[in-house]
Homo-oligomer: A and B are copies of this chain.
Amino acid sequence: MQNKELKFIEIIKNSLSDNSYLGDDCAFLKDLNLCISSDMLVEGVHFDFKYTTPALLARKALKVNISDILASGAYPLYATVCLSGRLNEDFIEKFYSSINSCALEYGVKIIGGDLTASKDLTISICILGSGRGRNISSRKNAKKDYILALCGNFGASARGLKMLFENPRENNVFTKAHLDPDIQVKCSEAIASRALEPYAMMDSSDGLINALEWIARSSNAGFSVDYEKIPKIDGSSKAEVLFGGEDYSLVCALSKSDFERVNCPELIAAGVVTDTGRIFIDGKDIENETREEFLHFD
């Protein structure tokens, strides 16, 4: 995790009278049994029209938000979509038509938003999901001897982005993973509707190690990971698999009995939760040994 990001979050936590809703992919509103999340995507920071299109961007913007709901174990219901930028009719039509069909695919309703003028295009989506019949996750819930279970692949999106930098028209499994990522509806549902004990879950929007660090820090725990078991597409580098972001795969820590109960073929056991407070990949402490070779991802 970057120090600046942590510092900012610390300031926000200290500024709020009640910061109990912070710390997960979604805020869980117990009284309403709803999960809510909002995200911002900025042109030149999160995307570039050199290699994406308004239609692909719309899909990804919505999927990124649905993924936050899935990481909580809830299911998505409603989303608001705000756009600022040098907007024109053609862009608005392509963007909203595409986000509408993506919303239909995932059972989401687009219920409103805002349009405003600005220099750089910014997309801000707020999504609401239901926790009805679901066991909602928290990053604080990992416990020693829990199984580290992964769903989806790790590293493909980062590799795809590199390829798009080199050739914006490249079109393969890696670029697809970056431009129109898979999200883990089935696995999230299986976990959240079957797990009986508290469990921790995040999506890998900022990479596998980042997710492990968040869960470890929030749960006062550590992880021991078997690199071989991490689901990945052949050709992904170790740096991409461990540190590459934007895959929107699921990183879950749940009890052994819940892992068996969930019984989802796509959910892969790739390690265990420890009480070391550190993250070991194949026995090597990620902090001491392996990080320097991946520094270009920081």
A38 lies within 8 A of B96 (CB): no
Contacts of A8 in B (CB 8 A): 87, 89, 92, 115
Which of B17, B38, B77, B92 sits near A12, CB closer than 8 Å?
B92
Residue among A11, A38, A46, A87 facing the most chain B CB atoms (10 A cut-off): A38
Q: 1/0 contact trace for A275-293 toward B, CB 8 Å?
A: 0000000000000000000
Chain B CB within 8 A of A173 CB: no
Residue among A40, A41, A83, A116 facing the most chain B CB atoms (10 A cut-off): A40
Contacts of A217 in B (CB 8 A): none
B38 lies within 8 A of A84 (CB): no
- Report how far A34 CA is from B36 CA in the complex, Å: 13
- Report how far A47 CA is from B121 CA in the complex, Å: 18
- Report how far A116 CA is from B96 CA in the complex, Å: 23
B80 lies within 8 A of A11 (CB): no
Contacts of A22 in B (CB 8 A): 111-112
On whether A104 and B17 interact (CB within 8 A), knowing A40-B124, A80-B27, the answer reads: yes
Within 8 A of B (CB), among A82-129: 82-84, 87, 89, 92-93, 96-97, 100, 104, 109-120, 122, 124, 126, 128
A96 lies within 8 A of B40 (CB): no
Copies of this chain held together in the complex: 2
Chain B residue nearest in CB terms to A128? B36
Chain B CB within 8 A of A295 CB: no
- Closest CB of chain B to A4's CB: distance in Å? 9
Contacts of A116 in B (CB 8 A): 40-42, 45-46
B37 lies within 8 A of A34 (CB): no
Chain A residues with CB under 8 Å of chain B are 5, 7-9, 11-12, 15-18, 21-22, 26-27, 29, 32, 34, 36-42, 44-46, 77-78, 80, 82-84, 87, 89, 92-93, 96-97, 100, 104, 109-120, 122, 124, 126, 128
Which of B17, B113, B117, B118 sits near A38, CB closer than 8 Å?
B113
Contacts of A12 in B (CB 8 A): 92, 96, 115
B118 lies within 8 A of A122 (CB): yes
Contacts of A36 in B (CB 8 A): 78, 80, 111-112, 126, 128
Contacts of A115 in B (CB 8 A): 5, 8-9, 12
Contacts of A7 in B (CB 8 A): 89
- Closest CB of chain B to A45's CB: distance in Å? 6
23 A-B contacts (beta carbon < 8 Å): A12-B96, A12-B115, A15-B97, A16-B96, A17-B104, A18-B109, A21-B112, A29-B78, A29-B111, A36-B80, A36-B112, A37-B80, A37-B112, A38-B38, A38-B112, A38-B126, A40-B116, A40-B124, A42-B84, A82-B124, A120-B120, A122-B122, A126-B126
